[in-house]
Amino acid sequence: MAEANRISNALTIDQIIESTKSKQEAAARKTGGELGKNDFLNLLVTQLRYQDPLQPVDDKEFIAQMAQFSSLEQMQNMNGSMTKSQAFNLIGKVITATTTDDKTLEVNSVQGTVTSVKMKEGKTFVVVNNKDVDVDSITQVDDALYNSYANLADYSNLLGYKVKGAVYDSSNGNVIYLSGNVKQIQRGANEDYAVMDGVNVEIAEVTGSTSVDPNYLKNYLDQKVKGTTEADKQVKVTIKDSTGAKVPVTATLNSFSIDENTGKVTAVLDNMYISVYSVSNIQKP
């Protein structure tokens, strides 16, 4: 009888939450310490199960609690929909996120362009550099420098024309403007390119070279220009402009010359890739 009296008190939702708070602390730590709609529903069912049959929950109070539950469910569903929508809007943008390894607890920073969105176990992830990144871990979002989702046919009018465009170094932001004849439009992983021939450049060094031989650059170019195939003639060099900006490029060496007085190395490069979005001038062939 005493037990019946103890549980027959019509506990409110707030009272049940308070009385079970200590038991739920461990679970709350795992779920972020927040009550979801399933927790709310369980509490409501518990209240109905242990209500006093002689003094049941008032209809108005029950309706109010059901309205609370409905409101909570709608808010969570809306939040889930907004998270998905926001995630899809991130495709093509550059994000920075902080992730924690579940096993080692090591904190890492992830940065890159969002290529797709995934849903796993009710959570939303964006894919960056082939890694799944929880949208909740994103700390910064930036517009991508270039949009790689355009239709290539939009740039077919560049074929056969001499254009001015840019190559850039993403590691330091250096940009160098060049001119050449467009022979091809190429889809890239992060941007689209106009492939140009007959590009005049000034070469600063062989990219990544650590040689102390003062003739290393000349010998490297001599060997490449004598190549019999396009692959043999491919060079990886760092070019520069009059401002001193330097950008590493990969292209096919057509010819080169060295000024005997200044030591300035100039070259004509083919198969030079420039971003179609950087084209600033188009000349008739």
**pLDDT digit string (tens) for 71-109?**
655 555 545 444 566 777 777 778 888 877 777 777 778
Same domain, 110 and 224: no
How confident is the model at residue 124, as a pLDDT?
82
Please check whether residue 206 lies inside any domain of the structure. Answer: yes
Please check whether residue 34 lies inside any domain of the structure. Answer: yes
Please check whether residue 147 lies inside any domain of the structure. Answer: no
HSE, CB side, 13 Å, CA atoms: give it for residue 219: 7
Same domain, 237 and 260: yes
pTM: 0.50
For 173-194, how does the pLDDT look when each residue is reduced to its tens digit (9 = 90+)?
A: 899 999 999 999 887 766 788 9
Same domain, 228 and 160: yes
Tell me, what DSSP letter sits at residue 284?
-
Same domain, 191 and 273: yes
Which residue, 66, 86, 106, sits at the end of a domain?
A: 86
Same domain, 164 and 246: yes
User: Tokens 């060997």 sit at which residue?
Assistant: 223
For 26-70, how does the pLDDT look when each residue is reduced to its tens digit (9 = 90+)?
A: 444 444 444 555 666 676 667 667 666 666 655 556 556 655 656
How confident is the model at residue 269, as a pLDDT?
97
How confident is the model at residue 32, as a pLDDT?
45
Same domain, 76 and 119: no
Question: In DSSP terms, which residues pair with 128 in a beta bridge?
Answer: 114, 131
108 token code pair = 């890492």
Of 19, 8, 18, 16, the closest CA to residue 57 belongs to 8
Task: Inform me whether the pLDDT recorded for 250 exceeds 70.
Answer: yes
CATH of the domain at 129: 2.30.30.140
Residue 218 burial by Cβ neighbours in a 10 Å radius (0-12, 13-18, 19+): middle
Residues 6+ apart with CB under 8 A from 227: 233, 253
**Residue 123's domain spans which residues?**
90-142
How confident is the model at residue 126, as a pLDDT?
83
Which residue, 86, 109, 128, sits at the end of a domain?
A: 86
The span from the CA of 168 to the CA of 175, in Å, is 4
